Amino acid sequence: MPEITVLTSDVHLVEGTVSESSATLPLADLERVTGFVLKEVGLCSGPTCIPLMGRTVVTDEVVDLVALAAVLGRTLVLDADAEMVAMSDDAQLRSQVLNDKVAPEVVLPDLDGTLHALSASRGKKTLLVTFATWCGCRYDLPGWQALLDELGDDNLAIYAVAVDEFPEKVRKFTGGFDGPVMIDRHHVLSEVYAMSNVPTVVWIDEEGTIALPNSLAFGTDTFAEFTGVSSGPHLDAVRAWVRTGAVPEAANEAVADLSLDEVEARLHFRIGAELARRGAADSARAHFDVASALAPYDWTVRRAAMPLSGRDPFGQEFLDLYDQWQKDGAPYHGVTAL
C-alpha cells in the first residue's frame, strides 16, 4: 500500500489508501494512530471498550477508517489528492469538559519539544491561558507573569498555551514569563475545550475541576480600547478565587458545544495546515476556505489560517471580519466576560 497521512492529535505517516469516500490502514497501525485496539468485545482504549454491534471495521488485517469513525462517533475529512485523512477527537471527552466540568489530561510540547502534562499542576489553582502570535494577546504574557509573581506563593500556577504553528515565532513573545509555555500545533486543547478564540482562559481548581470555563480575558490593557474588555475585573476575580475560593456568577454559565460544521472545519484546518507545512499553498488555501465557510467566526480556524496562507492576521481582512463578527453579536464559545 502507498503511504498516507492520518491527522489526529498528531501527524501519522502510515501505509494505507485514501479515496473520495474511503480510507484504510493496516490493523498493526491502529493503536498507534487512534489509541484503540481490536478485541473480541470491540474497540478498546484502556478500560473503555466500544462494542462493534455486528459492524465490520477490519477485513484481512486492514482497518476501514470510515467504518471505524462511525463506531467511535468521530468525524472524518478525506483528501484523496493529498492522500490525507483527518479524524476528529473524542466528543465524549469534550462533553466531560463542558457538562461535567472535568479538566481532561492534555499533554503538549513546550517550545523546546519537551512534553508537559497539564495535570502536573494538580494541588494548585491553575490558570490555563491561551494566546497566539496571530492575536494581539501575544503581548499579554508580562501581565500574566505579574499575576504569577503576586499570587504564586498563594498556590497559583499559570500555563500558557500558544494555539500556533512555529515555536521560534512564539518564543519572541515569551520573554520574562516563568510559567510553562506550550504549543498546541494540532489544536488539541482548543478542540477538547471547544475554544473558538484566543485569548481564552480557564480556571482549574486543585482537584482538577473546572472552576470557571472558557472566558475571554486579557493579561494587560494593551488593546482594551479596541476590544472593549478591560483586564482589571478578571484579574481581580482571579485574586479573589485564589485567596478566598470565591468564583464569579459566570462560572454557572454553560459553554456551547462545537457544532458538526465547526468540528468539520477544524479537520479541514488540520489538513490545510499540514499542506502548508509541506509547501502546497494552493491545496492548503482550498481547505482553509472550506473551513472558513463552515465556521466563519471560529478564530482558531479562520484567523489562524491567515498567516499560513500568506495573509495578514492584523490587516484589513481581519478588521472587516471583526466588524462583521461584532454586528452578528460576537458569537463565542465561552461564558460572559468578567
Q: What is the pTM of this model?
A: 0.96
Rounded to 5, what percent of the chain is helix, strand, coil? Answer: 40, 25, 40
Check: CB of residue 95 under 8 Å from CB of residue 16.
Answer: no
Model confidence at 322, pLDDT cuts 50, 70, 90, reads: very high
The sign of the dihedral angle between the CA atoms of 109, 88, 76, 43 is positive
In the predicted structure, residue 101 carries a pLDDT above the cut 90: yes
Mean pLDDT of 230-246: 98
Q: If you average pLDDT over every residue of the chain, what do you get?
A: 96
| Average pLDDT value for residue range 148-164 | 97
Q: For residue 300, what pLDDT band results from cuts at 50, 70 and 90?
A: very high
Q: For residues 239-250, give the mean pLDDT.
A: 98
* Cβ neighbourhood burial of 18 (10 Å; 0-12, 13-18, 19+): buried
Residue 119 has pLDDT above 90, yes or no: yes
CATH architecture assignment, domain 93-252: 3-Layer(aba) Sandwich (3.40)
Distances (CA, A) of 34 to 10, 48, 60, 171: 10, 13, 19, 31
Task: Please compute the mean of the pLDDT values over residues 105-121 and round it to a whole number.
Answer: 95
Please compute the mean of the pLDDT values over residues 133-153 and round it to a whole number. Answer: 97
pLDDT of the residue at 216: 97
Residue 23: which pLDDT band, with cuts at 50, 70 and 90? very high
Quick one: pLDDT band at residue 176, thresholds 50, 70, 90? confident
**Within 13 Å, how many C-alpha atoms sit on residue 66's CB side?**
9
Name the percent of the chain lying above pLDDT 90: 96
- Predicted confidence at residue 296, as pLDDT, reads 97
Between CA 170 and CA 38, with CA 93 as vertex, the angle to 5 degrees is 110
Residue 1 has pLDDT above 80, yes or no: no
Share above pLDDT 70 across residues of the chain, in percent, rounded to a whole number: 100
Among residues 231, 38, 74, the alpha carbon closest in space to that of 143 is found at 231
Average pLDDT for residues 88-112, to the nearest whole number?
A: 95
pLDDT in tens, 261-273: 999 999 999 999 9
Q: Which helix (H) or strand (E) holds 13?
A: strand 11-15
- pLDDT band at residue 114 under the 50/70/90 scheme: very high
Delimit the domains of the chain by residue range: 3-87, 93-252, 260-327
Question: What is the identity of the amino acid at 223?
Answer: F
